């Protein structure tokens, strides 16, 4: 049995922390991070807002991401071994793929592949605070959060809702433990009901 779980949502909402915790608790679990598919910096357009457009779908090589997902679907054991994930012999028929990213539900070829879709959010003030405390390889220029990051998050969230993409909303203000146990239990139930 194979299930694909999306851990999506806003920047600095807790997606990576949750995903990494889940990988340790689930059998034969691989992760694909959307951030690994950013195009090179020289291919990122500068928008009308004056900022490099990192927070738009066009900044990502989504075809490459889909190809990576398809490689997992074709042979999850081979994919796991190639990515340093040890396959547990007693659970070789159960495989979980976690897709983690900020625009997981905006790219049509991916939307229907998920068994479960989660969407993490935190309030504007908290998101801005967390973002300003993180250090990025390419540092945020002044005004990027309000001028580009937040408006793009709102735009894609609205499109997701208009497209009727069903997600389980998660409150990123809950403790890491609480979120982890909520999602882990949900995924385990999905696995039980799928077997």
pLDDT of 91-111, one tens digit each?
668 899 999 999 999 999 999
DSSP states of 153-190: HHHHHHHHHHTT---EEEETTS-HHHHHHHHHHHHHHH
% the chain with pLDDT above 90: 81
Q: How far is CA 175 from CA 127, 171, 181, in A?
A: 15, 9, 10
pLDDT at 92: 66
Q: Which residues are catalytic?
A: 35
Note down the domain range covering 164. 2-193
Tell me the CATH number at 148: 3.40.50.300
Model confidence at 145: pLDDT above 90: yes
Mean pLDDT of the chain: 93
Residues 6+ apart with CB under 8 A from 50: 147
* Domains contained in the chain, number: 1
């Amino acid at each position: 049995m194979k299930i694909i779980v999306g851990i999506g949502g806003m920047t600095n909402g807790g997606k990576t922390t949750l995903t990494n915790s889940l990988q340790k608790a689930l059998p034969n679990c691989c992760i694909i991070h959307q951030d690994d598919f950013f195009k090179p910096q020289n291919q990122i357009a500068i928008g009308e807002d004056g900022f490099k457009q990192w927070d738009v779908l066009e900044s990502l090589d989504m075809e490459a991401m889909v190809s990576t997902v398809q490689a997992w679907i074709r042979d999850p054991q081979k994919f796991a071994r190639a990515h340093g994930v040890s396959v547990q012999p007693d659970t070789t028929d159960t495989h979980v793929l976690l897709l983690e990213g900020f625009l997981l539900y905006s790219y049509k070829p991916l939307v229907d592949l998920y068994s479960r879709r989660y969407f993490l959010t935190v309030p504007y003030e908290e998101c801005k605070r967390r973002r300003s405390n993180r250090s990025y390889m390419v540092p945020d220029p002044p005004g990027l959060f309000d001028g580009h990051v937040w408006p793009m998050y709102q735009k894609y969230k609205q499109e997701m809702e208009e497209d009727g993409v069903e997600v389980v909303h998660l409150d990123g203000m809950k403790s890491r433990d609480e979120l982890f146990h909520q999602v882990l239990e949900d995924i385990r139930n999905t696995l039980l009901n799928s077997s």
